[in-house]
Chains A and B, each alone.
Chain A
């Protein structure tokens, strides 16, 4: 079962890589026409293609690209001829830093608030946090980002509103610049997870086994921690995974708004420069992260949920 999941995950990434490659392939023009722009003709184009290895068959080039990617080598970028791995490496680190900070604060907070609002359903705490969450979910990130910048950096001047640190700087230099992006990113995510945990807690607390525990004389907090929460939080794992997947998209907007040197902004830049090798590389990395996160979530649920666990152990 475990092996099968891993295998399926690998297959998914492989198929995605083909799609990415083929997608770029069918676009009119190639890395050289993009790079050379108006001069893309005659000898110049020929030389460039020669240098980039674009004259070989698509299958050959895919094989080169894919086997390089497995080793972490994405080739060189079209303009500037720098190693993509090096370019991407720092950006990836920065994006991860942003995501991890948002998750580290957002997930525990969301679970805590979700449980509290679920248990105190329709009481003032619930009303306050639930409606705040709905509100946070509905406003787009660029709006909340702009408002926060306006309040905290323009009016109050507490935090920098824009990131000026360069991509390769050590992590410590990103503080406190990273605080506002983390808040914006964390807010929507927290709201999503909170809503989900809340409804899951409500459902479980109204369920028959909780009623049975009450009628068995189990003290309230025991019911909550032993009987209800393990069951209520299982579905949260997959929601967290989905949220992370969403985060990959949200990151792009936030990085652009805050001028944050992450993968998202690099992607946007690469697209506007028509730097296809870089676009391909980032797309593949994002897809791999996506598959990896969902796979981890599935495996965790499988391990923590006794129903699925026996299933997995007994074989499919």
Chain B
């Protein structure tokens, strides 16, 4: 069978400031047969998106085609007229973008945007378009399609926007679909649902797919073949099973080892170093600087892609040695908490965003909206790490903000050590401020782009310890060393750092204050898996050496498992379950915890997620009963809507809040 997408020897580059042409893609071949699904994986900047877009004959501004061709269904996409391209793009060949929220035009209604796709690419008579739009929206399982037609993009949730993007791509009845990280940034449950949907649709219509992702779990679920890219080259290609289970390239092995696994509490292993910038790969193997198996030969000669025994191709001189090394690398056991005094105590915390209306205020009435977060009582020991999990909107960040004093609670108290903390940051004394530090998800937002690393670190040192002059600088360098960045980083600006380095600076700033409690809000979600592994390792190190108490918020359950001593599961701002990490992940589970765990995608072609509950978005918690009542797959009936479920304890330290009796909880 001839290939539907046939990319031959393609090189793409840009002209750098020094006038040199720097290659972003280097001599890549990629052929995708009709109905086949190929995954493209690699670290950020490896050229995955560029390659996928090149398949459409599209290059981002500034990039140029240096060599090769991209043929789709017999047409050379780089040699077409604009009109011909407009016919194919969005028609036979469609794209589902990474960030649908930003890829939908904000001023056009969903109906208008889908209608436009139909007008351009469908043979249907115009009077049937409206009905077809509703049908497409229903097809991607959006609830209430008639209402969604009239909405604007910002009125949909992230998962719904992604579904609209899928519906839009399907409007032209494509033969091939390019997907650029279509589920990155979505909740585990939403992600699992969208992937199942894509699988079904692809199987139904016999569509070919190119699936770009750095998430090997998602790739394992939808792709039959995987291409691993590094620094603009293909380094390994083969069946999903071979690439994920028996990788023969050291880079692919490193990438796999850096992914935290749900069924394993070891810390993932970080890949040291970082990929060369475009054009800096040198004459030898691009991976040489980070490879454990590197030999002299690797540095002088560039290895070619060669057929491997498993039927794929691989670019490495020492695949045999690599094959032997596979599975030998085992992650370190994380530092574990072994009991101690209470460091942080949350007592009956309730937090509400709803501001009472003016009239209600005057009449002295509260709001009748239930609080966003309610009834949170947890105490955390000194040196303990509490993982906080739950879908987006479950109130994880809200709780952290309240502890940090950025948001007043409606009820309850926060106690740190033996002091009860004033609600708001303005009323806390310097000692209390120093004690609690918050690290955010996105270092780009939290680091001032005009301050150097030294400025950033010196701020807390001056403020809390009154250091000055040479001492100040020495101490900054020392702290930087602790997050494994050399003193030569002191004079850099955030824009001169990579994502992982920025996050390390943010962590260093938090630790500069010498805090006892560090609140981590999705600190690794914006990072590549390999960088994530390095950051996790760092946090674990600091925990071991400083005895820091963490609250670690993440929507990635495997990451939480790797770092936490105890885990609390949150739904709609209410606790469902809390216990030792192993108890929560392996013992009896709350129905919601089960839903979350079932939706996790493992980088294993044999694992399939179980989708127990719909991924609908709830706007507000219910007024009474169990918070999970509307989505619970095991709802008992009336009692779940009216009565607050009781805490039950299967084991010491493990608590589950549900009406189902403990004996029945694990029987499905």
Q: Which residues of A are interface residues toward B (Cβ below 8 A)?
A: 206-209, 211-220, 222, 226-227, 230-231, 234, 305-307, 310
Contacts and interface: CB of A to CB of B under 8 A. Distances in A.
A231 B104 CA distance: 12
B106 A307 contact: yes
Contact of A209 (B60, B86, B103): B103
Nearest to A212: B103
B99 interface: yes
A214 B116 CA distance: 12
B89 A214 contact: yes
The A interface, classified by DSSP as helix, strand, loop or mixed, is helix
B157 interface: no
Given A306-B154, A307-B154, A209 B104 contact: yes
Contact of A217 (B53, B106, B121, B152): B121
Nearest to A233: B107
A217 B105 contact: no
Nearest to A208: B102
Contact of A215 (B95, B105, B154): B95
Contact of A230 (B95, B103, B107, B155): B107
A222 B107 CA distance: 14
B105 A213 contact: yes
B86 A217 contact: yes
A247 B81 CA distance: 47
Contacts of A310: 152, 154-155
29 contacts: A206-B61, A208-B97, A208-B102, A208-B103, A209-B102, A209-B103, A209-B104, A209-B106, A211-B97, A212-B104, A214-B89, A215-B58, A215-B90, A216-B89, A216-B90, A216-B95, A216-B120, A217-B89, A217-B91, A217-B120, A218-B86, A218-B90, A220-B82, A226-B108, A230-B107, A231-B106, A306-B152, A307-B154, A310-B155
Interface string B107-133: 110000000110011000000000000
B123 to A, nearest CB: 15
Contacts of A227: 105, 108
Q: Which one of A217, A220, A226, A230 has the highest number of Cβ atoms from chain B below 10 Å of its Cβ?
A: A217
Given A214-B89, A217-B120, A217-B121, A305 B58 contact: no
Interface string B416-443: 0000000000000000000000000000
Nearest to B152: A306
A209 B107 CA distance: 11
A212 B95 contact: yes
B interface, size bucket: 20 to 34
A230 B95 CA distance: 24
B116 A218 contact: yes
Q: Which one of B61, B89, B102, B105 has the highest number of Cβ atoms from chain A below 10 Å of its Cβ?
A: B105
Contacts of B95: 212, 215-216
6 nearest A-B residue pairs (beta carbon): A217-B90, A216-B90, A212-B103, A217-B89, A306-B152, A208-B102
B117 to A, nearest CB: 6
B33 interface: no
B485 interface: no
Interface in B78-99: 82, 85-91, 94-95, 97, 99
Contacts of A230: 107-108
Contacts of B202: none
A215 B106 contact: no
B108 A217 contact: no
A261 B60 CA distance: 55
B56 interface: yes
A215 B120 contact: no
B519 interface: no
B105 A219 contact: no
B168 interface: yes
Nearest to A307: B154
